[in-house]
């Protein structure tokens, strides 16, 4: 759920960085970035025990990292800070 918010904001920001929906979802995006970072810190989603190996991407870890890296160059400093914190976890 949280990575879906991050991914949807990523796609929408690529299409139109000034979209009004992005402004209204900024709080949810920042909370989702933080939560995704905490989840990645405590769980190995690529392990066979989790049973979440995706066929669409090589690694869930790589997919999440790509999403977080995108937001390191966001125009809002708070979003950049949350993305950096999430990567650091």
What is the CB-side half-sphere exposure of residue 11 using CA atoms within 13 A? Answer: 5
- Does the pLDDT of residue 1 top 80, yes or no? no
In a domain, 1, yes or no: no
The domain containing residue 66 runs over which residues?
33-89
The residue ranking higher by pLDDT, 89 or 78, is: 78
pLDDT > 70 in the chain, percent: 84
In a domain, 5, yes or no: no
In a domain, 64, yes or no: yes
Report the domain count for the chain. 1
In a domain, 52, yes or no: yes
pTM of the complete model: 0.77
Residue 44 confidence (pLDDT): 72
Residue with tokens 């949280």: 2
Distance CA 77, CA 48 (A): 37
Residue 52 confidence (pLDDT): 54
CA–CA distances in Å: residue 61 to residues 26, 28, 41, 58, 85: 23, 21, 11, 9, 16
Residue with tokens 């933080």: 34
């Amino acid at each position: 759920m949280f990575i879906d918010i991050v991914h949807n904001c990523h796609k929408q920001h690529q299409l139109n960085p000034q979209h009004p929906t992005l402004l209204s979802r900024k709080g949810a995006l920042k909370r989702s970035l933080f939560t995704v970072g905490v989840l990645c810190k405590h769980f190995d989603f690529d392990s066979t025990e989790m049973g979440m190996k995706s066929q669409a991407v090589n690694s869930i870890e790589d997919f999440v990292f790509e999403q977080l890296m995108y937001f390191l160059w966001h125009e809002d400093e708070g979003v950049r800070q949350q993305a950096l914190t999430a990567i650091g976890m």
